[in-house]
Structure 1
Amino acid sequence: MKKKTLITIGILVSILAILVLLLPQILKGFGYHPNYEKANYNFEGKKALIITTSHDVLGETGKATGVYPSEMTIPYYEFLDAGLEVDIASIKGGKIPLEPQGLQFPMKSHQDERYLKDEIAQQKTKESLKIDDVDFLDYDIIFMSGGWGASYDLGTSAVLGEKISQAYEEGILLGSVCHGVLGFLMAEDTTGQPLVAGKKMTGVTDKQVKELNISITPMHPETELRKQGAIFQSSTGFRDFFETLTVVDGTIATGQNQNSSGETAQKLLKMLSNE
């Protein structure tokens, strides 16, 4: 009897171990970090700028937050592998805070793992450029990454708003994913109207914010975009965390959430190839 019990326990432990090892694939099957269509490019001589938050605390909870890693690493390597020179900037400059959960098993992406072995990329995030000191007009693509931290500073930065306005006027390709879309909020068109007004855009849905119980953050993309007259689009399901959508309107490409990072970056590369 004792032997049978030990065998049963052994089998259950083995099954559990296998399930744990398969967690990344299981999450992928639900829609987390999905595969996306990729094309090969060689944009040697072109440049991309990735912008992130500098905010590192989730409200009064004291919990660490920042940019969601894959929303920075995936576009970073998409652009880098396409031959672009890629710079990384943040609202305040210096060390960029990373959402801790995003680099933990089973949440981290293949690009996150690549980043953790890439001393050059890590140095760029330890000594990120301050947006005040960056000439946005030097770049062909500007991409704003999300994460909970972005809800605190991207949508309230007058400097970011002014520079995004200038970049848009010059026809530079602009992109964002998740809460990164908040970086468009203080931008204006040449008539002084909100840049997002009348444009088809996406970002984190109010439903996803509610499902993850992170309503403590000051700005929610869907709510803020609708306030300014954007035509908000999204994919919704049983859990929006596993949904994905990329929307292109003119020179702007926006991705719904962490699952949309790669597709959004690829859309921007395709747009660059068509210029």
Structure 2
Amino acid sequence: MGILKILIIVTNINTYAIGNLETGLWLSELTHLYHEAKEKGYEITIASPNGGNVPIDPESLKRFTLDEVSKQYWNDMSFRALLENSKSLNEVESESFDLVYLAGGHGTMYDFPDNETMQSIIRNQYEAGSMIGAICHGVGGLLNVKLSNGDYLIKDKKITGFNWFEESLAKRKKEVPFNLEAGLIERGSDYRKAFIPMTSNVVVDRNLITGQNPFSSKEMAKVIMRELGKLK
């Protein structure tokens, strides 16, 4: 099959719509997958709706959330340069990938769900048999994706994503533009969540893989690598 190609999609949004709180990409939801893919020698493209700079949620850089893998990449200036110069979705829309992965962070709630280019990429790659992965709030990018037959991609699929109680724990219920858990259920998905909030939970439904929260980042990367290995 040759070298597997991975597209990681991240947010361009750096603040919530109300208030002055900063947001962006949750760093570990990118770094763990990036690290595993790099170790395997896979070809990785980082893209965002508009291209250019990818803001990082400052909460994800705090001492108690910045794990060793994320710290290693955050201290790597060449990796930082990648995040300052992401490709735009328009630039990669016509390419083929073995995996399209939607990294999370609250910023994604604003620029993922209604992005038609992203929907097109996900639909085309999914229907071609490629793997689709999404973690935490990045799962919101799947909400409005319709397949060629008109059904929502996530209809009747086993899926997870950041839940409403976790939003309470994160103290962001008043800031977020919508309830992700409710939206996923409304679309007819078979929504699954961990018994204990803020613990790792990864759900696989054939070539759709979702992770619940930042604490799922490491397991998510391992599961995706395992499933991608079956393609080789």
TM-score (norm 2): 0.94
Shift in Å, 1:272: 1.6
Are the aligned partners of 1:146 and 1:181 in contact in 2 as well (CA < 8 Å)? yes
For 2:188, which of 210, 220, 229 is the aligned residue?
229
Q: In 2, distance between residues paired with 1:168 and 1:138?
A: 11
Output the amino acid matched with 2:230.
Answer: N
* 1:86 and 2:44 aligned: yes
Query: Which position in structure 1 is the counterpart of 2:226?
Result: 270
Question: 2:200·2:219 contact (CA, 8 Å) conserved in 1?
Answer: no
Q: Give the distance between the partners of 1:185 and 1:87, measured in 2 at CA.
A: 23
Percent of aligned pairs with the same amino acid: 28
SS at match of 1:272: helix
In the alignment, structure 1 residue 213 sits paired with structure 2 residue 171: yes
Deviation string, structure 1 residues 14-52 (Cα, Å, up to 9, x no partner): xxxxxxxxxxxxxxxxxxxxxxxxxxxxx9621111111
Q: 2:94 & 2:63 partners in 1: Cα distance?
A: 35
Aligned length: 230
Q: Which residue of 2 aligns with 1:150?
A: 108
8 A contact 1:204–1:220 mirrored in 2? no
Code of the residue aligned with 2:29 in structure 1: it is E
Partner SS state of residue 152, structure 1: helix
Offset, 1:136: 6.0
Q: Secondary structure at the match of 2:132?
A: strand
CA RMSD of aligned residues (A): 1.5
Which amino acid is 1:218 matched to?
Answer: P
Q: In structure 1, list runs of 5 or more residues that go unmatched.
A: 1-42
- Residues 219 and 184 of structure 1: CA distance in aligned 2, closer, same or farther (over 3 Å): same
Q: Kindly state the Cα deviation for residue 260 of structure 1 after the two structures are TM-superposed.
A: 0.8
Shift of 1:259: 0.9
The CA distance in 2 between the partners of 1:252 and 1:151, in whole Å, is: 20
| Superposed structure 1 runs of 4+ greater than 3 Å apart | none
AA partner of residue 94 (structure 1)? G
Contact 1:165–1:189 under 8 Å retained in 2: yes
Judge conservation of contact 2:109–2:140 (CA < 8 Å) in 1. yes
> In the aligned structure 1, how far is the partner of 2:2 from the partner of 2:83?
23
Cα distance in 2, alignment partners of residues 260 and 87 from structure 1: 22
Matches within 5 A, 1:178-193: 178-193=136-151
Does 1:111 pair with 2:64? no
Any idea what the Cα deviations from partners look like across 1:191-234, whole Å, max 9, x if unmatched? 11111000000000111012222112113321111010000001
Alignment-mate amino acid for residue 166 of structure 1: N
Is 1:253 paired with 2:209?
A: yes
1:169 is aligned to 2:140: no
1:57 and 1:63 in contact (8 A); partners too = yes
For the residues of structure 1 that align with 2:75 and 2:171, how far apart are their CA atoms? 33
Which deviates more from structure 2 when the two are superposed, residues 256-265 or residues 130-139?
130-139
* Aligned equivalents of 1:271, 1:136: Cα separation in 2: 24
Measured at CA, do residues 111 and 180 of structure 1 come closer, stay the same or move farther in structure 2, by a change above 3 Å?
A: same
TM-score, length basis structure 1 = 0.80
Please say which of residues 44-53 and 81-90 is displaced more in the overlay: 44-53
Higher helix share: 1
